[in-house]
Amino acid sequence: MRTRILLIEDDERLANLTAEYLRKNDFVVSIEGRGDTAEARILADDPDLIILDVMLPGKDGFEVCRSVRAKYKGVILMLTARDEDLDQILGLELGADDYIAKPVQPRLLLARVKALMRRSPVSASLPSNLPDTAESTELAFGKFHISQQTRSTHLGDEAIDLTTAEFDLLWLLARHAGSILSRDDLLQELRGIGFDGLDRSIDARISRLRRKLGDDPDNPTRIKTVRSKGYLFSKHDWH
């Protein structure tokens, strides 16, 4: 079954060109031109992936992302202004799965869409010096349980609602519990790009995961920051 994309972009010419390029690459693409009608369209169509521009008439992309994130379980890729770090961080904080700066080359957009839609286990391409702690698709640490097969996460009896990108990051960290994963390791595996020293997407996503998992943001013990090295998922402290 072909992936269904809803492109939310008010520039009609750009939207048509982008949609045509994606259609030629075997995606089914619909277009929505306004932010104030986007939420109803998203919930009615339930696409596999949304490409969401920030600057929209009626309601901006941030508002759209905020309003639909709890109801829409698919992938959200935001288009932000070039070099606007605050836009990128805000989009991730509101639940976007990824962002890409405009203007964007069609091939880069296509590559990012394909990467986001992959649903394979995320351990295969990690460096060999990072031990793989589990072969199964189910992991448990105390009261914390995560399933790669059902893409579900529980802490005790509570189900933790995660975006696609948050789940992929958490699964990657949990599979390598007790090992430090650098930002470069994480970005290479999750987005297929190296860490350029500026990208804040991993940091923003870690912050969201800590809040959802009840980790103390000032003194985290479940997902630890190892200064100058990366992040470590603890095997303990899941009582």
pTM: 0.62
The band of 20, judged by pLDDT with boundaries at 50, 70 and 90, is: very high
* Number of Cβ atoms within 10 Å of the Cβ of 86: 10
CA distance 66 to 222: 26
The band of 18, judged by pLDDT with boundaries at 50, 70 and 90, is: very high
pLDDT attached to residue 228:
85
pLDDT tens-digit readout, 47-69: 999 999 999 999 999 999 999 98
Buried b or exposed e, range 20-38, using 16+ CB within 10 angstroms:
eebeeeebebebbbebebb
- The domain segmentation of the chain, as residue ranges, is 4-117, 138-233
pLDDT attached to residue 148:
86
Q: CATH top-level class for 138-233?
A: mainly alpha
Buried b or exposed e, range 147-169, using 16+ CB within 10 angstroms:
bbeeeebebeeeebebbbbbbbb
pLDDT tens-digit readout, 64-118: 999 998 889 889 999 887 555 666 677 777 788 888 888 888 998 998 898 888 7
- 128 versus 164: the higher-pLDDT residue is 164
Q: Which two tokens stand for residue 51?
A: 């490409």
pLDDT attached to residue 84:
59
Q: Where are the alpha helices (DSSP H) in 133-181?
A: 164-175
Domain covering 4-117 in this structure, CATH number:
3.40.50.2300
- 215 versus 197: the higher-pLDDT residue is 215
pLDDT tens-digit readout, 137-193: 899 999 999 998 888 999 999 999 888 788 889 999 999 999 999 988 888 887 766
The yes-or-no verdict on residue 238 having pLDDT over 50 is yes
